[in-house]
C-alpha cells in the first residue's frame, strides 16, 4: 500500500499525471464558470466566478472544456455517463443552451415535466402536476388563485428568494415583448397566447382573439428555466424547456467576484456558497 501511494504521488507530480487529474476533476467533479450576463442579477452577478458541482444530477458525458467536444459516446442517450437525480423546482442549474448544445447557461428551475405555467406581466402562475391538494398543502392561501378549473400558485418562489425581481432595465417588460413577438415571429417564443377572464390585466388583440396571458405545459423529463431578473432574462420563455440531456450541474460557491463597472473586487461575495447567498437580501453594487 505504501509503495502504491508513493507511485501515485510521483505520478501526480508529473505533467501527465497533473493533466489527467485536472481533467478528471473537470469531467466528473467540479468545473469553473463565470456569470456573463445579468439574467440572474441580484442572486448571481455579472463577474461572479463560481465552481459548480457536476455530480448532483448524475455524471454528464465528458466533454473537453470550452469547445464542448464529447470524448465518449452518449451510451445512455440522455447526455449522462451515469444517470442521476433530476433538477428540482427552485434549484439554480447550469445547463447547455438548447439552441447550440455548447454554451453554458445558469437559471432557476421554476417547473418540471407535467407542470403548467401561465405568465402575465409581474406574475408567474404555476399549477404543479401533483394537483390541487398538493398546492393547498404546501402553499399559503394568499398565494393561491383559481382559474381554468384548477389551482395555481402566484410567483411561488419570489418570497423565498429576495433576488427574484420584475424590473425592466432599458426596455419594455418581457411580457409585452413576448406578445408582440408572437404576432411577428411566433417561432421565437415558447409560450402560447391565451385569455383568462379572472386575471384581468392589459388585453391584446391577436388575429381577432383577446390575449392577456401566455401558457406553457412542460414536457416530460424537461425543466423550465427562468432567470431571477425576470424582465431582463433570455430564458425558457423564448427558447423552450431544457431536456435532462443538457443538464450539467449546480452552482456551488463563488471563489471570486469582479465588478467590472467599478473596477473592484466584491470581497463580500468571495468564498460564499450559492445556496446561502440566494437567501440573503441583495446588496446594491
Looking at mean pLDDT, say which of 38-47, 129-138, 188-197 comes out highest. Answer: 129-138
- Given 107, 158, 216, 250, the catalytic residue: 107
| Domain CATH number, residue 32 | 2.10.109.10
The torsion angles phi and psi of 259, rounded to 5 degrees, stand at: -90, 95
For the chain, report the end-to-end CA distance as a whole number of angstroms.
53
Q: Which residues contact 9 (CB under 8 A, 6 or more apart)?
A: none
What is the number of domains present in the chain? Answer: 1
Question: Is residue 285 included in any domain, yes or no?
Answer: no
Question: Is residue 282 included in any domain, yes or no?
Answer: no
User: Is 53 marked active-site?
Assistant: no
| 192-218 residue pLDDT tens | 999 999 998 889 988 888 999 999 999
Question: Is residue 142 included in any domain, yes or no?
Answer: yes
Per the document, the length of the chain is 285
Question: Is residue 246 included in any domain, yes or no?
Answer: yes
| 68-99 residue pLDDT tens | 778 788 888 999 998 999 999 999 999 999 99
DSSP state of 64: E
Indicate the burial class of 212 (C-beta count within 10 angstroms; 0-12, 13-18, 19 or more).
Answer: buried
> The pTM is what?
0.88
CA nearest 238: which of 60, 105, 147?
105
User: Is 107 marked active-site?
Assistant: yes
Pairing of strands 48-53, 63-64: unpaired
Question: Is residue 284 included in any domain, yes or no?
Answer: no
Question: Is residue 135 included in any domain, yes or no?
Answer: yes
**pLDDT-based confidence at residue 285 (cuts at 50, 70, 90):** low
Question: Is residue 172 included in any domain, yes or no?
Answer: yes
Question: Is residue 201 included in any domain, yes or no?
Answer: yes
CB 38 within 8 A of CB 46: yes
| 110-121 residue pLDDT tens | 999 999 999 999
Instruction: Tell me the residue range of the domain where 68 lies.
Output: 2-277
Taking the C-alpha atoms of residue 273 and residue 50, their distance in angstroms, rounded to an integer, is 9
Q: SS3 letters for 187-241?
A: HHCCCEEECCHHHCCCCEEECCEEECEEEEECCCCEEEEECCEHHHCCCHHHHCC
Amino acid at each position: 500500500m505504501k509503495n502504491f501511494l508513493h507511485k501515485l504521488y510521483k505520478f501526480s507530480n508529473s505533467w501527465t499525471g497533473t493533466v489527467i487529474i485536472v481533467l478528471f476533476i473537470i469531467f466528473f467533479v467540479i468545473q469553473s464558470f463565470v456569470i456573463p450576463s445579468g439574467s440572474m442579477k441580484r442572486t448571481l452577478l455579472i463577474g461572479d466566478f463560481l465552481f459548480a458541482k457536476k455530480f448532483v444530477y448524475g455524471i454528464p458525458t465528458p466533454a473537453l472544456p470550452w469547445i464542448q467536444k464529447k470524448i465518449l459516446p452518449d451510451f445512455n442517450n440522455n447526455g449522462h455517463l451515469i444517470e442521476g437525480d433530476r433538477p428540482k423546482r427552485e434549484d439554480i442549474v447550469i445547463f447547455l443552451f438548447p439552441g447550440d448544445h455548447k454554451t453554458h447557461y445558469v437559471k432557476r428551475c421554476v417547473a418540471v415535466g407535467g407542470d403548467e405555467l401561465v405568465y402575465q406581466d409581474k406574475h408567474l402562475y404555476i399549477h404543479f402536476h401533483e394537483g390541487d391538494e398538493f398546492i393547498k398543502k404546501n402553499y399559503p392561501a394568499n398565494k393561491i388563485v383559481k382559474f381554468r378549473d384548477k389551482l395555481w400558485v402566484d410567483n411561488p418562489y419570489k418570497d423565498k428568494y429576495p433576488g427574484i425581481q420584475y424590473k425592466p432595465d432599458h426596455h419594455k417588460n418581457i411580457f409585452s415583448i413576448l406578445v408582440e413577438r408572437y404576432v411577428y415571429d411566433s417561432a421565437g417564443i415558447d409560450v402560447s397566447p391565451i385569455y383568462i377572464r379572472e386575471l384581468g390585466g392589459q388585453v391584446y388583440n391577436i388575429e381577432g382573439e383577446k390575449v392577456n396571458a401566455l401558457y406553457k405545459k412542460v414536457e416530460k423529463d424537461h425543466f423550465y428555466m427562468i432567470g431571477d431578473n425576470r424582465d431582463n432574462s433570455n430564458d425558457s420563455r423564448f427558447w423552450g424547456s431544457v431536456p435532462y440531456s443538457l443538464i450539467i450541474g449546480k452552482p456551488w460557491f463563488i471563489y471570486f467576484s469582479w465588478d467590472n463597472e467599478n473596477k473592484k473586487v466584491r470581497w463580500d461575495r468571495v468564498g460564499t456558497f450559492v445556496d446561502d447567498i440566494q437567501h440573503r437580501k441583495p446588496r446594491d453594487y
